[in-house]
Structure 1
Amino acid sequence: MAINANIASLLNSGAFSSASTGSLDLSVLANGGSTAARSGPPTKTQIARMAPWDSRAPQPTLSKVAADALRDTRLVNTSLGTGPGSAVRDDNDRDLFIIHNSVQKLQALADAAAKDGVSADTRKRIQERINRGLAEVNAHIAATKLEGAYLIGGRRLNRHESEGIQRGLLQYDTKPLVNGDMLAIPQGFLGDRRFNLKVTKNGVTTNIDINLADMGTTDRTVGNVASFVSNKLEAAGFESRFERVQTKLAPTTKGGTETLQQRLRITTTASETLTFEAVAGDSQPALYVAGGKTIDGAMQSVVSKLTGLNGTDELSSFSADLAAAKGGTAGVRASVVGPDGSLYVIADATAKVNGQTPKGKSDVILMKYDTTGQVSWTRSLGSAAPAQGFSLAIGADGTLAVAGAVDGRADTLTSTTGNGLDSFVAAFDAEGRDKWYFQQGATGSDSATQVKVGDDGSVYVMGTTTASYGGAATLGGKDVYLQAFDATGTIRFTQSLGTANDDSPGGLVLANGQALAVWNETGGARMQAFDQVTGTAIGSVNNLGSANLNAVTQLAADSSGRMFLAGRETAGGVANKLVALEISSGNVLFTKQSTTGEAIRALTAAGDQVAYATNTITIPTTGGTTRETTIVGLDADTGSQNFSRAANQAADAPVAIALAANVSESLDSLGIPQGQLRFGMSDELTDRTGLRAGDQFAVIVNGGAEKKITISDGETMRTLAAKLNRVLMRDGTAEARSLRGVESLVITPKPGDRIELKAVGGVADALKQLGLEPGVAVPRPAKATGGTKSVSDPPPIIALEMPITGDVSDKTKAKALLDSFDGVLRRLRIGYREISTDPTQVELRKQNAANAAKKAAGSGSGVAYYNKQTALGQDALRRLGVSV
């Protein structure tokens, strides 16, 4: 055939001779060996032999490719038609050209989304096409088998190693208490400092009174205080200890001196439980504030604890950023204080927060902060569909409940979906471990907006729906529903509330064995009591006439039988009115308008106080108007103002506030958390990540069949490693490694073997949750040493690093995805140059080998490399049918 004749002519001329020292005009090879083609545009025959990216071949504009991709039902077209590459006979080349053309279409779509002026509808259409196209192209790549080479959609690795997952340790380090050496005395250690330390061992609890006044004239350094408490523990026969830990803070300027910091470390044993409590006369109220704040250009959140509320000084015990990984957002929606004064918050996150990785575009993150501001643990709902959390509650037994809405099926085996948004409620124990999850969508859209937990662990939810929900009657328009669950997640009852018009939830209170539901109708706010077990209505509907509220927007209650309603007096008015009611009688205790005249954005009550958050308009010194969040505290009986504090939160983002009635001033000053010292000791992966039982990923050994690995109930990193080893057999090892409280999974192939990890279909990406990435691990060949044999090189591997998902919801994200596709195409072209039998590529590899050999200048390894590349080139020619 003609091409073989041209190649033979070149071979006879010495162009392929290893002895040749002259350079070859590669344009001859590029044009199929025809020198005449260099004087004019290429012919159709010549174009058919070119790679699709060859600059001499006619190239369609990306805008046309994008338009065609939007119209086409499939992006992968296995026919190359009569265009570039259509005349190649090598199967590898054809396969790579087909993939190139498919990825180019995705590239064109991302490029279109990265332009200015793209409408929301067009962007949505592009996003949907990219999602379908990614699934199609990745499936085609996975099914493509190259001859003499290995193609993977992910990355090539030496081994698979997960990101570390934090484990609980039996020690607690306080925040830095003082700057200075071991003789420095923290200001907080001075004065009247005392607390009660309870130690529980073998079911027996011992009280140890700690009063720093008993130290006498001994300086209250961190080390001396640690020894003082440890001596008391030792004298009582316990193994738990306090000690001083010194850390170093790097200098802030070049050539500066480092700063020494002192902190306390509390170490205990698995058989001893430590609980820290306030003593009489040493407690004070505290206010937790959580809300949005711009951090590094992205909307994140900040959590603060304010004390000294009844004084003139504004004291802040701590302020901590709640931020998602770079490029993501984290917005707090709700918060609640636990019995020990700890704070629980829920946030909607679009990226990793404290090791918890959203499965979908957004997930609901649940976090516990101790009273010093340190994160005790972080859990995620684990929904693969976009989810939002609206309400959070805690019960006397420590049961936590989260309610919200999810757009699609969440990652559970029992959940069902309706159309549009679905309500969800998730229950966790005091350590954030899953108890149960419920999602049952109506045929319309619905969402859960309020949640409360009963004394027995039962859960009550209010929400809104546009259709029949939970079997309850449809009233018309947007209905309000009330649903109750027992402690196991079994539905007790579902009730519909409202009228034939659009109605909305106002709030929910549990008191005296009743569930008090408040909702809004066209004619005003309404309240109805229901039996907590049966759901039977008790009494008649109260139109809240005494409260004179047209609509309720916020609701809170305290343990003294008081209910606080915030809302608006007239339809369309500002929701800036606060009304306090006595629950049992319905009598109005007081009414109040927000001091700023703006809407009340959040409400909380505890002890003898109620507090609300609103906006304040301020004029900065540089000119212009800004808005900040202000929290006002009132006496719960009279409504008289107790305090007013400015908060460091954005006024245009949700804000959550929570009052703690009694927190220990001494424990705060010593940096010790109030309540039981917990370490998040669970080893189960479903407690420490967003994984759920039933999540899967696939393992492929040496290109064989996919073997799915399924996460089981109670799965730990160690049991997962054992499960993997049963699949890997002798071709590799899986190991659970633990170092300094961080546990990771390491999967290593044996020399000469390869192990691929792959995300599988379904609602979850288990690899992402484990901190692993899809790709192939192939160990690098061992270098030969004297008296040993080297491990032979594996076949060439083309790792495309193809995205699994893509986001073009805005211009910046579309540009990032475009860059990702550009990288895929670049890596595909590099792979083509490495394995193609095209004469140009063969000669280029030969010349590269010759150059490498020259640089080696007599090195044995350089000669070996040259010989190997020459052999590869000769093998490629043989596959074209050329005798060499």
Structure 2
Amino acid sequence: MVGIFGGNDSQTRTITLFSIDSSLLQGAFNAKLAQNAVARGVAPTAASSRGPDVIAPWDKPTGLLDLPDELGEHLSRNNLFAGTGEGLRSDLTKTQENLFRMWKGMKKMQALAAFAAEDKRADLVRGQLQKQFERYESEIFDFVGKAQLSGVKLIAGPLETKAETDARIPRSSSEYEGRRLMGSVGDAVPGLDTNTRFNINVTKSDGSVFDIAIDLADIGASKTLGNISEHINTQLEAAGVTTRFFTYGDGEGKFGLKVTRSILEEVVLTPVDGDAAVYVAGTSGNGEFAKGSVRKFTDLDGTMTQAFDAKTEVEDGVSRIAASALGPNGELFVLGTTSGDIGGQVVGGEKDVFLTRYDAAGNEVWRRLVGSTDTAEGYGLAVSDDGSVAISGRANKPLTEASPDNGINSFVTLYDSGGEAQWTRHTGPQAVDAAFAVDFDADGNVVVAGASAGALSGQTHQGGQDAYLQRLSAGNGSVLDQIQFGDAGSETASAVRVADGLAYVAVNDDGQGVVNVYDVNDLAAGPTQTITVGGAGETTRISAIEVDGAGKIFVAGDTTDSTFTGAGTDGRLTHSGGADGFVARLDEASGTMDFGAYLGTAEADRIRGLAIASTGEIYVTGETEGNLDGNNLVGSRDGFISRMDANGAPQTTKTYSGINGRVDSNAIVIDEKGDSALTRLGLGHGNIGDIGSLTVTSTSAVRPGMSFSMAVDDGPLRRIDIEADDSIRWVAFQMNRVLGRDGLVEVKREGDHEYLRVNARSDSKISLRGGSEGFDALPGLGLKETDIFGPKMKERDDVFALGFGKFVNLLDFEAAADARDHMGFALKQIEKAFDSLTASNEDPLARRRREALLERPPAQIQKQIANFEAALARLSG
């Protein structure tokens, strides 16, 4: 209609390709005005029918604001709609007034988005622009919610008829799929010449147990996937169990084995023969390309073969792995930090901590998120003999309702063997602190090592940054014992191991490495032994610590000190200059160094992870920026794994590169039977049906105590609390109790996962609103605050949705362009709502005449337009 289509098109982008005389443009513009004038003379428009002085703001030929001149105003705290009521007639209806004001305010928003999309100066204040844009969006929702409108219905958000959770909750399955390692089911599986035996233990629901021994040597030379599955199934059938092995492919030319079992049968796979394997965990790539990485190495006595490199893939973010640990049945656990959604689990804040369990073949079993609503990072990881898992790190916001909001504080979480959180404890003053390492004592209590810039409860801050050591109760995480120590400088407890009633703590103290030994049941009494590593005036950092149970302590890290005891003898290497990686063996009784062994180049080198094999061999991992031990540097910083004999002499060193030539190798563990017939077949060890707890709080970023609210047709909000044992179906049941007949929450399936779909019925409105700050369950479920409308709402001509809801932003030029275009759409919705108020009252015959003339103006006007178009064509030709 006139006034909308005749004014500025708020979605139009202008690109200048050549110079045009201004008088020519003015003439074309005047012709357009003449065309509009003819239309106005035929029939009154929505604007003119309200009187000659009532002109809708979009009928005025005004362009975008000159934002650079208005930037100060836009970055002020003024309300979006401040001043938008100035100049309006006093006889306007309330609906007309509110629509006018909304349009004017949103025009400011469009100018803001256009500046962010088109002006390079926006990069200087982009963060401030984004905050202002978010505030404007919030003010739109407030204005629309409070505006008095008659004859039209405005919706600030999108007109959605359903909402679905982005979080995907795993469901139990009777199938277990191994890694797909072969190019054909008819190819012989390599590596099955010596390690050929494993056991299948089947326990039925009635308690009967079946032990089936498998020896692949019985097959003969042709050990293909097809022959192997047939051989195993023959044994299973003879035993009278229903579990079966099958071959399967992925559609990309890769094949493996899968196991299908009855839900009445528990199946455990156990290797009889096996060789040692090593897992190295860290990060491949850096910056926006960083991905958590788990590499498995076999053939340790030979050239070291990389069996796999499992990346932690995330959506719109990066992941990093800081620690790893081995479970009692050969499970591999890794701890890391992610800034993006990961495997169907939605990150509710900026960064969250993830704990992932893999089986021995590298198949992911389950993953847990701590559930940070702001920023959290994971550092320490330990697994007890019963399969309990302790993790540690730091979080910017409390992870439990009982914890005070003291800023960046340490946290420790204990999980049971199924990955269900038992407790989370924050330990920290109103100062920055972090928990860098954890271990278990013999009673299952958690021993924590970290650093703090303030005094822990009951402790004294020595100045600068102090180290601390705590023992937390296995039952509830309460502090059983603790000690804080340091001086005016900087001390950090970086690693801890507990053995035989003693806690061994690695401390970095102002450039020197120190090992303190404590009675684990009396930490407050202070260390029983202190050993210094590295000389004064040098820089020595300890990253890892292990003990052998025979009075020897092993530490590893990096140092500039070239004078370690025993270097250069018994096959050990000398210092190569700069910072070299090192391993040192310390004698607990005497408090002295038995030997120090270097591993490095003339460039920067560091050892981060350390493991001691049952043979006494030493395995280390880290990074190098040079040609290390006969290996040429591939990227800018390569990772490495090195096997040393019990005296620290290198036997084999293997380097590897990563994404964009960058690797961080942070942790290493040894599985003495990690290379078995099962893993060669792509199968793990242990209970193949154990996928851990399936509660919402275990399988998503939602924590116990979080909540959200729902309302129907602007009625009162009703709160839904998430408890520790809630399943996804129970959450759906609670939501349906609120909705009654006005909506339906369904549990939908997607492969081996489930999610929720919220539907409104008829013309009902369902509102989803978040919980309290820091304890809002919606982000972890992958939902946003929104309104959901019944399908009949879409059929109404008087309903107009503006489509806001934090779907667009100004964080870069491309995103800002989308925001600018969205503002054009939203402005058009206001214009359509305005015009719809009188469209139903317009005489149909008059409307048809006006529309016909709009399509074909009088001959004189057509000729004038044609002349200007021809002139423009000549200029552009």
If the length of structure 2 is used for normalisation, what is the TM-score? 0.80
Task: Specify the code of the residue in structure 1 equivalent to 2:495.
Answer: G
Query: Is contact 1:343–1:368 with CA below 8 Å preserved after alignment?
Result: yes
Aligned to 1:19: none
Change beyond 3 A, Cα 1:536–1:276 = same
Percent of aligned positions that are identical: 22
Among candidates 625, 641, 645, match of residue 616 of structure 1: 625
Aligned to 1:490: 478
Give the deviation of 1:770 after TM superposition.
Answer: 2.4
Among candidates 298, 320, 326, match of residue 331 of structure 1: 320
Is 1:566 aligned to residue 568 of structure 2? no
Give the deviation of 1:353 after TM superposition.
Answer: 0.7
Aligned to 1:317: 307
Give the deviation of 1:535 after TM superposition.
Answer: 2.1
Mapped to 1, the partners of 2:264 and 2:522 lie a distance apart of 42
Change beyond 3 A, Cα 1:714–1:142 = farther
Mapped to 2, the partners of 1:384 and 1:797 lie a distance apart of 35
Change beyond 3 A, Cα 1:232–1:495 = same
Aligned to 1:460: 447
Task: Specify the code of the residue in structure 1 equivalent to 2:738.
Answer: V
Task: Specify the code of the residue in structure 2 equivalent to 1:166.
Answer: P
> Bigger shift: 744-753 or 833-842?
833-842
Aligned to 1:306: 297
SS class of match (1:178): coil
Among candidates 586, 608, 620, match of residue 581 of structure 1: 586
Change beyond 3 A, Cα 1:385–1:140 = farther
Is 1:288 aligned to residue 280 of structure 2? yes
**Which sections of structure 1, spanning at least 5 residues, go unmatched?**
4-21, 38-44, 250-258, 782-790, 855-884
Mapped to 2, the partners of 1:206 and 1:680 lie a distance apart of 22
Is 1:67 aligned to residue 69 of structure 2? no
Query: Is contact 2:728–2:755 with CA below 8 Å preserved after alignment?
Result: yes
Give the deviation of 1:591 after TM superposition.
Answer: 1.1
Query: Is contact 2:640–2:665 with CA below 8 Å preserved after alignment?
Result: no
Give the deviation of 1:226 after TM superposition.
Answer: 1.8
Aligned to 1:821: 819
Mapped to 2, the partners of 1:823 and 1:166 lie a distance apart of 38
Aligned to 1:242: 245
Change beyond 3 A, Cα 1:711–1:729 = same
Aligned to 2:9: none
Mapped to 1, the partners of 2:844 and 2:380 lie a distance apart of 67
Change beyond 3 A, Cα 1:391–1:59 = same
Q: Kindly provide the CA deviation profile for residues 793-840 of structure 1, in whole angstroms up to 9, marking residues without a partner as x.
A: 4464333332448876xxxx3335534533542342232233215788
Aligned to 1:379: 368
Task: Specify the code of the residue in structure 1 equivalent to 2:259.
Answer: I
Mapped to 2, the partners of 1:494 and 1:679 lie a distance apart of 36
> Bigger shift: 127-136 or 748-757?
127-136
Give the deviation of 1:491 after TM superposition.
Answer: 1.4
Aligned to 1:603: 609
Task: Specify the code of the residue in structure 1 equivalent to 2:242.
Answer: E
Give the deviation of 1:664 after TM superposition.
Answer: 3.0
Query: Is contact 2:519–2:528 with CA below 8 Å preserved after alignment?
Result: no
Change beyond 3 A, Cα 1:577–1:245 = closer
Query: Is contact 1:130–1:806 with CA below 8 Å preserved after alignment?
Result: no
Give the deviation of 1:291 after TM superposition.
Answer: 1.2
Among candidates 702, 705, 708, match of residue 691 of structure 1: 702
If the length of structure 1 is used for normalisation, what is the TM-score? 0.80
Mapped to 1, the partners of 2:843 and 2:232 lie a distance apart of 73
Aligned to 2:670: 660
Task: Specify the code of the residue in structure 1 equivalent to 2:761.
Answer: K
Among candidates 708, 712, 715, match of residue 701 of structure 1: 712
Query: Is contact 1:698–1:760 with CA below 8 Å preserved after alignment?
Result: yes
Among candidates 74, 81, 84, match of residue 77 of structure 1: 81
Aligned to 2:20: none
Mapped to 2, the partners of 1:461 and 1:109 lie a distance apart of 50
> Bigger shift: 62-71 or 605-614?
62-71
Aligned to 1:444: 431
Change beyond 3 A, Cα 1:387–1:111 = farther
Mapped to 2, the partners of 1:267 and 1:677 lie a distance apart of 10
Aligned to 2:800: 798
Aligned to 2:871: none
Task: Specify the code of the residue in structure 1 equivalent to 2:68.
Answer: S
Task: Specify the code of the residue in structure 2 equivalent to 1:162.
Answer: T
Give the deviation of 1:352 after TM superposition.
Answer: 0.6
Give the deviation of 1:499 after TM superposition.
Answer: 0.8
Aligned to 2:98: 95
Query: Is contact 2:169–2:694 with CA below 8 Å preserved after alignment?
Result: no
Query: Is contact 1:556–1:563 with CA below 8 Å preserved after alignment?
Result: yes
SS class of match (1:224): helix
Aligned to 2:272: 279
Change beyond 3 A, Cα 1:475–1:160 = same
Mapped to 2, the partners of 1:778 and 1:768 lie a distance apart of 21
Mapped to 1, the partners of 2:634 and 2:42 lie a distance apart of 67
Change beyond 3 A, Cα 1:65–1:689 = farther
Q: Kindly provide the CA deviation profile for residues 158-195 of structure 1, in whole angstroms up to 9, marking residues without a partner as x.
A: 32333443323121112224333x54544455665222
Query: Is contact 2:640–2:654 with CA below 8 Å preserved after alignment?
Result: yes
Aligned residues: CA RMSD? 3.9
Change beyond 3 A, Cα 1:818–1:565 = same
Alignment of 1:177-192 (within 5 A): 177-180=181-184, 183-187=186-190, 192=195
Task: Specify the code of the residue in structure 2 equivalent to 1:661.
Answer: D
Is 1:358 aligned to residue 356 of structure 2? no
Aligned to 2:31: none
SS class of match (2:780): helix
Give the deviation of 1:396 after TM superposition.
Answer: 1.9
Query: Is contact 2:366–2:692 with CA below 8 Å preserved after alignment?
Result: no
Change beyond 3 A, Cα 1:576–1:618 = closer
> Bigger shift: 328-337 or 760-769?
760-769
Give the deviation of 1:427 after TM superposition.
Answer: 1.9
Q: Kindly provide the CA deviation profile for residues 645-676 of structure 1, in whole angstroms up to 9, marking residues without a partner as x.
A: 12233565643231323113312211111233
Task: Specify the code of the residue in structure 2 equivalent to 1:802.
Answer: F
Query: Is contact 1:300–1:330 with CA below 8 Å preserved after alignment?
Result: yes
Aligned to 2:509: 521
Change beyond 3 A, Cα 1:841–1:241 = same
Q: Kindly provide the CA deviation profile for residues 671-698 of structure 1, in whole angstroms up to 9, marking residues without a partner as x.
A: 1112332442533111111112232233
Aligned residue pairs total 786
SS class of match (2:329): coil
Alignment of 1:245-264 (within 5 A): 245-249=248-252, 259=253, 261-264=254-257
**Which sections of structure 2, spanning at least 5 residues, go unmatched?**
4-37, 563-576, 853-877
Give the deviation of 1:213 after TM superposition.
Answer: 1.7
Query: Is contact 1:347–1:364 with CA below 8 Å preserved after alignment?
Result: yes
Query: Is contact 2:778–2:784 with CA below 8 Å preserved after alignment?
Result: yes
Give the deviation of 1:383 after TM superposition.
Answer: 0.6
